[in-house]
Every structure is written in structure tokens, then in C-alpha cells.
A and B are shown apart, each in its own frame.
Chain A
């Protein structure tokens, strides 16, 4: 590692369990981030500044004035620009070590699956249940770890689904897939720092999964009520009847 990199990452290289080897591993890592809104903004910025070497980021929206209260990767001068372009310039300014691949259209189906298969970790920063269920299903199919967070009003939830491991619950073990459960921030509102809190936790957990550092939120849902600033932890176990993760393709073959 060059001197400039040693200096740039020195504060985290000092952390036990990261060291130079961990930093090199981060620089060699590939993360797929879906969404560049309130969650995706701090996630992209922290993963980039931490030196996650290859970021693949998908968002098909354009920057609007009403985004800027929380989507801190974009600025006033970016209004009207594609979020993918605006985010790219912020990330390149933050850390030129990072290779950024921006996907400015909606990723789905086989194209999404191929990106998930290529990633070390997938980070869910979407804003609706449909996208979240699709990501979970494809991450399970590809056996790729999924870091998932959500926020609305002054509430947030975040967890890690180690879909590369057989005993981990998945997102579908948490939420039933029954119609349109949720409200969107556009309809209900959201406080900017609250998505920031949840997004930075997602970035932290992503780095931990990449480096196998400490204990992640796997099997625990962390729930924030920012109005009281109370955190709750719910233990989440694998649902034996989960339509996504209860039977692996390998088991299905061996049982037939």
C-alpha cells in the first residue's frame, strides 16, 4: 500500500481486526448498492470514503429540490441531473481510489441477478417493499449477503441477512409478502438525519461483513424510534416455512 493510502485510511487501519490486510481487502471488495436516496446517499459516501474499492450503484431517478433535505450526496446545483451522475462526482471527489460503476436504469431480473452474483455484499437502500422482496429473493438465489435498512417519519429498521450461510433468516422471514404494506417517504415524510442514522448503520454493517469483523446484525432486527430515541432489538430466526429460504435448491434436488 502506498504512503498516501496508508495516511488516508490510517484511522481505520488502527482498528483491531482491520489493519493493513483488512484495508487491502476493502480496496479489493465489490459492493452493489441499490438506491441513491436518503439511505443510499450516506451509504455510498461512507463506503467510498472507507475505501471499498469497487462500488456498483443503481438509481434511475433525477435529483429534485425535495430530495436535498436528506439525500446528502446531491447538491443544489445537481437539481435535474440524473442521481447516478451527481453521486458519481461526489464520490470521485471524496475518494479517487474507488472505481464507481453507475447504472442509471432500473435493475431487475437477470441483469440484477448477474450484478448480485458479482458482488461481495448487496446493500438495500430502496424505498418500497416490492424492490426489497426481489432483492432478497435474488440474493438468496445467488447466496450473497444482504444488508437491508428502511426508514420513514422518525422510525427506522436495519438488519443483515447472511444469505450465503444456511442458518440465517432472510428478509421474507421478517415481512410477509402481502400486497402493498408500506408508505413512502414522499407520502408520509421522513426526517433527514433519521435516514442518515439507518444508512450509516448499513454502511458499518457492510464493512463488517466484508471484513468478517465483530458480530453483525444477522438474526437481529434493530429498530429505532427517533421520537423517543429508543432503540429496540428483535431476535429474528429463520422461518421454517419461509417460501424463499426454507428450502435451498441443493436440498430440493437431494430430496427428490
Chain B
């Protein structure tokens, strides 16, 4: 098992409404969990609502395997103007 933190940003906060603004969520996940598995299976957030997947401040692919101490953040798409 590995410890990570997850931050749901802006409109994605609706999926964990008990979280305070800016609160990072500590989570214990099985080893070899990918970013995609974290999102859909563990957090149960529809992938299509998330456009930006950041791990430790860097845009990351969904097949990235998460390791101890990773800081994950998700954002929805924004195209308006």
C-alpha cells in the first residue's frame, strides 16, 4: 500500500463535498495503482469530467503508476471565454 494525497479542484469538489476548500485528501491505495484507477475506481469520479491530471506539479498520463508520497490534483476542462 502507498500513501498519496489528492486534491479535487473547483467544480470537482462536488464529489467530496465534506472537504474544506483547499483541503488535500490523504488516501491509502494499493501498490501499482494507476492514475486512471485512482480516479474511476477509488474516487469514482467520471473520467470525462476531468481534463487535467497533475502529479507533483507535472501533467501526467492516466497510465502513470502512483508511488508513495505522490501529490495528485485534478481539474475539469475549461474552454469558455
A235 to B79, CA, bound (A): 19
A128 to B78, CA, bound (A): 9
* Interface pair B51/A175, CB less than 8 Å apart: yes
User: If the complex has contacts A174-B59, A175-B51, A234-B57, are A181 and B10 also in contact, measured as CB distance less than 8 A?
Assistant: no
Q: Is B18's CB within 8 Å of the partner chain A? A: no
| A contact residues around B48 at 8 Å (CB) | 178, 181
Residue of B nearest to A234 (CB): B54
Total count of chain A residues near the partner, CB < 8 A: 45
Q: Is A254's CB within 8 Å of the partner chain B? A: no
Q: List 30 A-B contacts (CB under 8 A).
A: A37-B81, A126-B81, A129-B79, A149-B81, A150-B81, A151-B81, A152-B78, A153-B10, A155-B10, A155-B11, A155-B75, A155-B76, A156-B78, A174-B59, A181-B77, A182-B78, A182-B79, A188-B80, A190-B80, A195-B81, A198-B81, A221-B52, A223-B9, A225-B9, A225-B10, A227-B21, A232-B9, A232-B54, A233-B57, A234-B52
Residue of B nearest to A186 (CB): B80
* Interface pair A183/B80, CB less than 8 Å apart: yes
Q: Which 3 A-B pairs have the closest CB atoms?
A: A182-B79, A152-B80, A39-B81
A149 to B77, CA, bound (A): 12
Q: Is A53's CB within 8 Å of the partner chain B? A: no
| A contact residues around B57 at 8 Å (CB) | 233-235
| B contact residues around A185 at 8 Å (CB) | 80-81
Residue of B nearest to A178 (CB): B48
A15 to B56, CA, bound (A): 35
Residues of A197-247 at the interface with B, using a CB-CB cut-off of 8 Å, are 198, 221, 223, 225, 227-228, 230, 232-237
Q: Is A35's CB within 8 Å of the partner chain B? A: yes
Query: A-contacting residues of B (Cβ < 8 Å)?
Result: 9-11, 21-22, 48, 51-52, 54, 57-59, 73, 75-81
* Interface pair A127/B58, CB less than 8 Å apart: no
| B contact residues around A38 at 8 Å (CB) | 80-81
* Interface pair A152/B73, CB less than 8 Å apart: no
A154 to B52, CA, bound (A): 17
| B contact residues around A174 at 8 Å (CB) | 52, 59
Pick the residue among B52, B77, B81 that contacts A40 (CB under 8 A).
Answer: B81
Pick the residue among B21, B75, B80 that contacts A182 (CB under 8 A).
Answer: B80
| A contact residues around B75 at 8 Å (CB) | 155, 157, 223
| A contact residues around B52 at 8 Å (CB) | 174, 221, 223, 234
* Interface pair B58/A153, CB less than 8 Å apart: no
A164 to B47, CA, bound (A): 33
Query: Which of B10, B11, B51 has the largest count of A CB atoms less than 10 A from its CB?
Result: B10
Q: Is A106's CB within 8 Å of the partner chain B? A: no
Q: Is A8's CB within 8 Å of the partner chain B? A: no
| B contact residues around A37 at 8 Å (CB) | 81
Other 14 A-B pairs with CB < 8 A, given A37-B81, A232-B54, A234-B54 = A40-B81, A150-B80, A153-B10, A157-B75, A175-B51, A181-B77, A184-B80, A195-B81, A221-B59, A223-B9, A223-B75, A227-B10, A230-B22, A235-B59
